[in-house]
Amino acid sequence: MLGSGPVTISVVVVNWNAREDLAACLASLAAQTDRDFETIVVDNGSVDDSVSSLAGRYADVVWVEAGENLGFAEGCNRGIAAAGGSWIATLNNDAIADARFIEELRSAALSGGPSLGMVQSRIVFQRDTQRTNSTGLLLYADGCAEDRDFDQPIRADDRNEEIFCPTAGAALYRRAMLDEVRLPSGFFDRGYFMYVEDLDLGWRSRLAGWSTLYAPRALVAHKFQGTSRRHGRRFVELQCKKNRLRTLVKNGSLRMLVTSLPRTLVDLAESCLWIGPSAIARFATAAWDSARQRPAISKMRRIPRREIERRWITVRT
């Protein structure tokens, strides 16, 4: 495990047909109190002139044009590949960063020990900045995850604390960690396209012995599903169900796989109702693909799967 070295930051923003949101996001990055970072925008084949309308205004931004919609996971991978920082910040294109966002992320990275691999910012809703969108991810016994403190009033007394893993909508990752836990499918698994890829990366990194710090003063206001809404509600739900299984097969213990089987069967049945029998093939492909990756994760693992689950599984209330 590598954990030393300077804190240089690259911010990766993935964009798809969200010119106005991206403009607001880049404007917030241009207004940072800490200017010692680079911004990389990966454009997933937008047809709304996102790049041509903004590239001239933000000449210091590194623009990576994918030419097609690769999804969030592979978009992030392309950005990370182009990044020069020792730490990689991922930021949704429909998010607006507080002026001290980079400053606070850097402070959190500097305060962590050599095992710190991930930092979670405080994400609030743009529609109501006094309510929380996320302070990280919670893991449940059936392999589901949800945002910590979702739709709860913000707490002024929040302090830096260890959490399970971050949501990639506004997170910071140590590059040395990303290189260590990378799979042939990428830092983020490109097979996910979008949704749950951050849980997979966080869980995989936890198994490899890395930790996560929640830094509440690193603040971001998120539009919330500003891009994904355009895919439709069923698309989002199908992605989450399929990718939940994918993540569980890769990272969960055999016991967790067995005890979560009822949830998996319910997810499969609901998916079949929505799109027909083709859901079975999609789930089977996801499970098989993840099963083939499981040995690689076992090889990088430093902490037993059951130990991670005993410590971090949250009991639903």
pLDDT digits (tens, 9 = 90+) for 214-259: 999 999 999 976 555 555 668 999 999 999 999 999 999 999 999 9
pLDDT (tens digit per residue) in 182-220? 999 999 999 999 999 999 999 999 999 999 999 999 999
Q: Where are the beta strands (DSSP E) in 3-70?
A: 9-15, 37-43, 62-65
Q: What CATH class does 9-229 carry?
A: alpha beta
Give the Cβ contact number of residue 21 at 10 Å: 20
Got the DSSP string for 188-222? TTGGG-SSSHHHHHHHHHHHTT-EEEEEEEEEEEE
- Average pLDDT of every residue of the chain: 95
Which of 5-19, 24-38, 76-90, 238-252 is predicted with the least confidence, judged by mean pLDDT? 5-19
Q: Is residue 7 pLDDT above 90, yes or no?
A: no
Dmax (CA) for the chain in angstroms is 54
Alpha-carbon distances, residue 237 vs 80, 138, 172, 274 (angstroms): 27, 18, 26, 10
What was the pLDDT predicted at 130? Answer: 97
Q: Which residues pair with 62 in a beta bridge?
A: 40
What was the pLDDT predicted at 68? Answer: 96
pLDDT (tens digit per residue) in 150-182? 999 999 999 999 999 999 999 999 999 999 999
The kind and range of the H/E element at 280 are: helix 278-300
Q: Is the pTM of this model over 0.85?
A: yes
Give the Cβ contact number of residue 9 at 10 Å: 22
Contact in structure between 153 and 129 (CB atoms under 8 Å) = no
Alpha-carbon distances, residue 243 vs 75, 203, 279, 301 (angstroms): 17, 13, 13, 21
What percent of the chain shows pLDDT beyond 90?
93
Got the DSSP string for 32-62? -S---EEEEEEE-S-SS-HHHHHTTTTTTSE
Judged on CB neighbours under 10 Å (0-12, 13-18, 19+), 165 is: buried
First to last CA, the chain: 36
Please name the residue ranges forming H helices in 112-166: none
> Which of 28, 7, 24 lies closest to 15 in space, CA to CA?
24
Q: Is residue 5 pLDDT above 90, yes or no?
A: no
Q: How confident is the model at residue 4 (pLDDT cuts 50, 70, 90)?
A: low
Q: Is residue 135 pLDDT above 60, yes or no?
A: yes
What was the pLDDT predicted at 224? Answer: 79
Taking the domains of the chain in order of start, what are their residue ranges?
Answer: 9-229, 232-312
